[in-house]
Amino acid sequence: MQGLMQEWPLLCTKVLDHAATFHPEREIVSRSVEGPMHRTNYRDIRARALKVSQRLERNGIALGDRVATLAWNTWRHFECWYGIVGIGAIYHTLNPRLFPDQIAWIMNDAEDKLLFTDLTFLPLVEAILPKVPSVETVIVLTDAAHMPETSIANAVPYEEWIGEADGDFAWKTFDENTAAGMCYTSGTTGMPKGVVYSHRSNVLHSMLAQQPDAMGLSARDRVLPIVPLFHANGWGIAFTCPMAGAALVMPGAKMDGASVYEILTTEKVTFSAAVPTVWLMLLQYLEKEGGELPDLKKVVIGGSACPRIVTQTFEERYGVEVIHAWGMTEMSPLGSLCTLKPEYAGLTGEALLDVKDKQGHPPFAVEMKITDDENRDRPWDGKTFGRLKVRGPAVARAYYKGAGAEQFDADGWFDTGDVAHMDANGYMQITDRAKDVIKSGGEWISTIELENLAVGHPDVGEAAVIGLKHPKWDERPLLVIVAKEGCQPAKEDILAYLSDKIVKWWMPDDIVFVDEIPHTATGKIQKITLREQFRDYQLPTAAED
Ligand code: ADP
């Protein structure tokens, strides 16, 4: 027997319809790229998104076409996403921090037909466009008054472009499994691969993100997504906020400590999400300039491991709850969040921080397991590492054009490429990327754990650990350090600092000091480059053995 419930396709546009109907006046505030603050609401955003849909159709964009965006978080970028998906086209976010050739490669792979770009990236677009023949139209996200001279033929200012539509238009409807968005992995561990979200996966992802033990947003929140829409599906916030009826505060192009502090306080932001580097900049700013965060209640921190000092400072000094989260572009992107179960109630001090260092437990609709290389389950004892595998309705089942097929198995599990352990309460902790973990004498050493400990030293600004070939142990750790400005830590001092925090065989065989550690476009340590840089480096222990 079939259930007798309605067919109601899970389309992204239904989320905006909900917000415009039940939270019409809720604010969307943006720091515009042109400078001034801009204020609108869900009702007006929906009206403009319909114009975007209508206007795109007039440009010949249809179901399945890829429409690229190269833009900061502003109301215009946000309404473009809805305008694009409103006719079954696919928003394709481009990361402007990638090398121009890599952006061109990605655009060609996706065969983007139209591009929305912010003013900031116009010179970049001028440089790459001749290499991307599929792009027919470029819309510059500004008005006629701010439109600069450009060598791009047919580039038009956005406000004039949508001004030509009257908005008398209805969203198109189609199967909920239709593609809605596309985002390429940032290529930290290889060539970028295309991830294709569906309407259904985006809507379900927002519902899973909405759970109280996940992001738990409400109509009373004012949300500042510092994580750009071009990172990992913008952490789903473009759908989660309207679903909750939460106000959106968009930071535009400015993500330095002073700007983040200003927008947090003037806009009375209650909830924010960003990678650890952004929070480090804010906390350093506050330490230097002073200031409080009276409205901010919660921050979600993910993208790379959150240093303990960030959690501790937010919670103990500023009274802001930190939710450490893990996810991936391939997972829409949320995978787990570290909220406290009753098993951990009452913990304080270091014991609480030990739990908060973990990436947490998965919300409903994310299945998770750890296995050995032969796909056998590993015990959940909080220490045995394994390959982290996931499954769920907002997890990729393939990459675009079949790339990386080896990461998907016949039972539907996706091998994340991360190495992690799980504890008896179902809390996961990332210990490494499979490609970075150091295999020493048949045992594994976690580079992330070593790095996090090393940055706890007061003179260490940034730390990276890589495995170098070793004649006896196969691989041994080398610790690479960027000292804090004005500090000159000694090797022996750092080794002594680490010595009572880790087992002896985890101790780095050597430490080198550098001016800079290479980073990827998403701000992660680029281990591939670092390993290349130190390929011929001789560990002192290699000669001894
Ligand atoms: P890329 O794989 O190219 O870096 P993503 O932005 O999708 O692109 O990054 C996902 C990866 O980031 C995860 O596989 C994991 O290695 C890392 N990551 C994300 N969140 C965390 C976290 N909280 N702690 C440690 N690593 C994290």
Task: Please tell me the distance between residue 493's alpha carbon and the centre of ligand 1 in angstroms.
Answer: 31
Residue 302 near ligand 1, beta carbon < 6 Å: yes
Minimum CA distance residue for ligand 1 atom 26: 304
Ligand 1 mutation pick, 182, 197, 299, 524, max ligand atoms within 8 A of CB: 524
Q: Phi/psi of residue 487, each to 5°?
A: -110, 150
Question: So what's the pLDDT on residue 521?
Answer: 78
Whether the per-residue pLDDT at 545 is higher than 60: the answer is no
Q: Which atom of ligand 1 is nearest to the CA of 433?
A: 16
Which residues are CB-neighbours of 269 under 8 A, at least 6 positions away? 222, 223, 224, 249, 263, 295, 296
| 406/450 same-domain check | no
| 418/491 same-domain check | no
| 426/444 same-domain check | no
Chain position carrying tokens 């319909």: 50
Instruction: Give the C-alpha separation, 340 to 346, whole Å.
Output: 10
Residue 313 near ligand 1, beta carbon < 6 Å: no
244 within some domain: yes
| 425/442 same-domain check | no
Point out the domain boundary residue: 223, 252, 281: 252
| 476/426 same-domain check | no
Tokens of 531: 């390993």
269 within some domain: no
Q: List pLDDT tens digits, range 303-314.
A: 988 989 899 999
Domain at 18, CATH number: 3.40.50.12780
Cis check for the bond before 123: say yes or no (omega within 30 of 0): no
pTM over 0.85: yes
Helix ranges (DSSP H) in 394-465: 447-454
64 within some domain: yes
Residue 524 near ligand 1, beta carbon < 6 Å: yes
Residue 447 near ligand 1, beta carbon < 6 Å: no
Residue 450 near ligand 1, beta carbon < 6 Å: no
Residue 418 near ligand 1, beta carbon < 6 Å: yes
294 within some domain: no
Task: Please tell me the distance between residue 538's alpha carbon and the centre of ligand 1 in angstroms.
Answer: 30
| 424/444 same-domain check | no
Instruction: Give the C-alpha separation, 220 to 268, whole Å.
Output: 11
Point out the domain boundary residue: 252, 283, 304: 252
Q: List pLDDT tens digits, range 481-529.
A: 999 989 999 999 999 999 998 889 999 999 999 999 998 877 788 898 9
197 within some domain: yes
317 within some domain: no
Instruction: Give the C-alpha separation, 190 to 528, whole Å.
Output: 9
Whether the per-residue pLDDT at 136 is higher than 70: the answer is yes
Point out the domain boundary residue: 225, 252, 279: 252
Q: Do the Cβ atoms of 192 and 185 come closer than 8 Å?
A: yes
Enzyme catalytic residues: 185, 330, 439, 444
* Complete DSSP assignment for 198-226: EHHHHHHHHHHHHSTTTT---TT-EEEE-
The domain containing residue 140 runs over which residues?
A: 12-252
Question: So what's the pLDDT on residue 433?
Answer: 87
State the chain's mean pLDDT as an integer. 95
| 347/365 same-domain check | yes
* Complete DSSP assignment for 305-333: PPPHHHHHIIIIIH--EEEEEEE-GGGSS
Q: Are strands 66-70 and 156-157 parallel, antiparallel or unpaired?
A: unpaired
pLDDT exceeding 90 applies to what percent of the chain? Answer: 86
Task: Please tell me the distance between residue 305's alpha carbon and the centre of ligand 1 in angstroms.
Answer: 8
Minimum CA distance residue for ligand 1 atom 27: 304
Chain position carrying tokens 């008005």: 143
| 472/402 same-domain check | no
Q: How many CB atoms lie within 10 A of CB 478?
A: 21
Please state the domain count of the chain: 3
Instruction: Give the C-alpha separation, 257 to 276, whole Å.
Output: 12
Residue 20 near ligand 1, beta carbon < 6 Å: no
Task: Please tell me the distance between residue 433's alpha carbon and the centre of ligand 1 in angstroms.
Answer: 9
Q: Do the Cβ atoms of 279 and 231 come closer than 8 Å?
A: no
| 370/493 same-domain check | no
Domain at 507, CATH number: 3.30.300.30
Instruction: Give the C-alpha separation, 428 to 426, whole Å.
Output: 6
Question: So what's the pLDDT on residue 544?
Answer: 62
